Amino acid sequence: MLDVKKKKVVVVMPAYNAEKTLKDTYSDIPMEKVSSIILVDDGSTDGTINLAKELNLKVFAHKRNYGYGANQKTCYIEALKDDADIVVMLHPDYQYDPKLLPEMIKPIEEGQADMVLGSRLLIDNALKSGMPWWKYIGNKALTKLENLVLGKNFAEYHTGYRAYSHKLLASLPFQLNSDKFVFDQEIIFQAVHSGFRIVEIPVPTRYFPEASSASFLSSVIYGFGILKLIAEYLLHKSRFIHMKKFESLTQRYEPVQ
């Protein structure tokens, strides 16, 4: 039987102006499941860093605002340095429920998955929870297109609540990905292309003024970024162009007999 107690779980929080919600998020984390919590601040102008220090989190601060993808890169680099077996990305804006962390890591603990996506649309009540209608429609349309391209049947690709195995993060060249929001999609495409196992679990979300949310314009730019990613992926698979970001590190070498 697999001894799940030996798994080191590290929570990473990509933060930007999260002072108002950080403490609530932190308070709901099941600490008995977590070895350490890393917060990476991406140029906040509020008291996020000071509060994170008060909560005794491991804090890393970007010198300026580099973007959501850049924030995640630092999160995962530091989590791997911390010898994490499982890395959970939890936004400190209290939109996703920290209490679901045991369910998020369970498929990886039991050896059934390398990535877990906390889907808002697996039980489709996102609109009732307050998701803007335009974001809901865009999410559904892009997810349908991504499923078609990747040959999958996921309910959602655009969640910010995720768990990763050490093996996945150590294998994928995520540092080659975008510093912006499309990073989330790039790492999924990389994982699928490299044969990693991905499962979804349903997660409820909260929509309230203090929770971070991309604007309509940012969401449109994000959508076009996904279309560009799809084009790159298809061209790479067709061998018209070669994209290093779609190679896992283990695919770049082989043992010499």
pLDDT tens-digit profile of 130-149?
677 677 788 889 999 999 99
**pLDDT value at position 136?**
77
CATH class of 7-250: alpha beta
Strand partners, 234: none
Tell me the domain boundaries of the chain. Answer: 7-250
CA angle (22, 66, 229) in 5-degree steps: 105
pLDDT confidence band for 222 (50 / 70 / 90):
confident
Say which residue, 20 or 255, is predicted with more confidence.
Answer: 20
In the predicted structure, residue 158 carries a pLDDT above the cut 50:
yes
In the predicted structure, residue 170 carries a pLDDT above the cut 70:
yes
Cβ neighbors of 224 (< 8 A, separation 6 or more) are: none
Beta strands in 100-196 (DSSP E): 115-119, 162-165
Q: Residue 63 — φ and ψ, nearest 5°? A: -70, -20
**pLDDT value at position 187?**
98
How far is it, in rounded angstroms, from Cα 145 to Cα 141? 6
In the predicted structure, residue 65 carries a pLDDT above the cut 80:
yes
